[in-house]
Structure 1
Amino acid sequence: MIKVKDLCKSFGDLDVLKGVNAEFEKGKTNLIIGQSGSGKTVFLKCLLGLIKPNSGVIEYNGKAYKSFSKEEKREISTQMGMVFQGGALFDSMTVGENVVFPLKMLTKMSRKDREKRVDEVLDRVNLGDIHDKLPSEISGGMQKRVSIARAIVNRPNFLFCDEPNSGLDPRTASVIDNLIQEITHEYDITTVINTHDMNSVFEIGENIIYLENGIKAWEGNKDNIYKTDNKKLTDFVYASNLFQKVRITQRRGL
């Protein structure tokens, strides 16, 4: 679990996060949504330890990050997996080399054990037969699945995803959503997803944080988001005709 208490972050005179409180539960897909400029990217980077907040507390499994020793900070970083917006695969490396990279960097596993683990995670994302292919030789959806395999190869306790469906068609995006949710449940990890994809919200939003101008303006799940009276949230979620139709259908019980 990750617990955030009164988190604030400013850049000069610009207040980006203004006292955000949130809990991201273990074994659930936790989503951060909000318009561009709402603070969700900065929030995610704070959770990852890439940006130091001005004030507030971030707790990982009950212990505040700012109280960690150097060794504990190094250890918590090894417990984090990251799926980047563009996949961020190394173009010059094969799929297998990309996936094994964190194990080489962060563990002392033998070569045999590393290879076994890579086989396991590639099989889990249904890509067991492309070890020797380069990223340029596979589709965008397959690249995202390789990125997920790399993120979980080190058996993380925390999985962070930054716009994991960016650039994907709706069907492939749904596959990625479901895969992330399945892995979250199977491995019982704390997954935090930064997304603007409302299909993801309605499909896998087990816990949703809505940020508005650096403030947590709403929290709930994919079921009760339909019933909210928060006008800014409903305007954001139902901005397209598709979601207006979804809302009407939901209200009518069709």
Structure 2
Amino acid sequence: MIEVKNVEKSFGDAHILKGISTTFEKGKTSLVIGQSGSGKTVFLKCLLGLFIPETGTISYDGKIYSELSHDERRNLRAKMGMVFQGSALFDSMTIAENVMFPLRMFTKQSKSEMEDRVNFVLNRVNLPDAHHKMPSEASGGMQKRVAIARAIVNKPKYLFCDEPNSGLDPKTAIVIDNLIQEITDEYDITTVINSHDMNSVMEIGEKIVFLKDGFKAWEGSKDTIFKTDNEVVTDFVYSSELFKKVRKMYLEENE
């Protein structure tokens, strides 16, 4: 579990995060949503330990990050997997080498042990024959699956994803959503996803945290988001006619 208590973060005069408190539970897929400039990216970087809040704490299974030693922070980072918005694969490495990279950084495994693990995770993301391809030879959806394989290769306890469906067609986006959900369930990972994709919210949003101007404006689930009367949330979620119709149908069915 990740527990966030009264986190505030500023850069100069810009007050980005304003007293955010929430929890992200083990084995659940949590989504952080909000408009551009709401603080989502800064919040995710705080969760990753890349930014340290001025006030408040972030705890990982009861251990407060700011109180950890340098070695303890390194060990914690080794338990984190990250899927970047643009996949962030190394162009000069093969797909297998990209996936193996965290093992080289954080473990002392033998080459054969690393190769076995790479084979396992590439099979898990349905890329059994992609080892020797270069990222430039892979489609956008394949690159996302490679990024997920790399994120889970070191058996993380925490998985973070920044706009994992960015640039993907709707069908491929659903495949990626389902893959993240399956991996979260299978390995009992604490998963946090930054997203603006409402399809993802409704598909896999076991918990949703809505940020507005640096504040936590609302939190709930994909089921309760249809029921909320919070105008900030409804203005964001139901900005499209499609979701207005979906909400109307949902409310009528559950009267």
TM range (shorter): over 0.9
1:166-214 deviations in whole A, cap 9, x for unaligned?
Answer: 0001110010001001000100010000000000000000011001111
Mapped partners of 1:10, 1:130: distance in 2: 43
- What is the deviation of 1:249? 2.0
Mapped partners of 1:250, 1:170: distance in 2: 22
Mapped partners of 2:181, 2:54: distance in 1: 32
1:220-239 deviations in whole A, cap 9, x for unaligned?
Answer: 00001000010110110111
Mapped partners of 1:53, 1:245: distance in 2: 40
- What is the deviation of 1:253? 2.1
- What is the deviation of 1:11? 1.0
Q: Find the residue that maps to 1:248 and give its secondary structure.
A: helix
Aligned to 1:109: 109
1:81-119 deviations in whole A, cap 9, x for unaligned?
Answer: 000000000111111011011111111000000000000
Mapped partners of 1:248, 1:135: distance in 2: 43
- What is the deviation of 1:71? 1.0
Aligned to 2:43: 43
Q: Find the residue that maps to 1:236 and give its secondary structure.
A: helix
Q: Find the residue that maps to 2:229 and give its secondary structure.
A: coil
Mapped partners of 1:103, 1:23: distance in 2: 29
Q: Find the residue that maps to 1:17 and give its secondary structure.
A: strand
Unaligned runs of 5+ in 2: none
Aligned to 1:203: 203
Mapped partners of 1:182, 1:154: distance in 2: 17
- What is the deviation of 1:248? 2.0
Aligned to 2:93: 93
Structure 2 length as normaliser, TM-score? 0.98
Amino acid at match of 2:18: K
RMSD between aligned residues = 0.9
Unaligned runs of 5+ in 1: none
Q: Find the residue that maps to 2:196 and give its secondary structure.
A: coil
Instruction: Give the paired residue count.
Output: 254
Mapped partners of 1:153, 1:33: distance in 2: 27
Aligned to 1:81: 81
Structure 1 length as normaliser, TM-score? 0.98
Q: Find the residue that maps to 2:133 and give its secondary structure.
A: coil
Aligned to 2:234: 234
Aligned to 2:168: 168
Aligned to 2:151: 151
- What is the deviation of 1:19? 0.4
1:27-59 deviations in whole A, cap 9, x for unaligned?
Answer: 000110011111111000000011111110000
Equivalent residues in 2 for 1:213-224, closer than 5 Å: 213-224=213-224
Amino acid at match of 2:208: I
Contact 2:52 2:66 in 1 (8 A): no
1:135-162 deviations in whole A, cap 9, x for unaligned?
Answer: 1111100100000000000000000000
Equivalent residues in 2 for 1:111-150, closer than 5 Å: 111-150=111-150
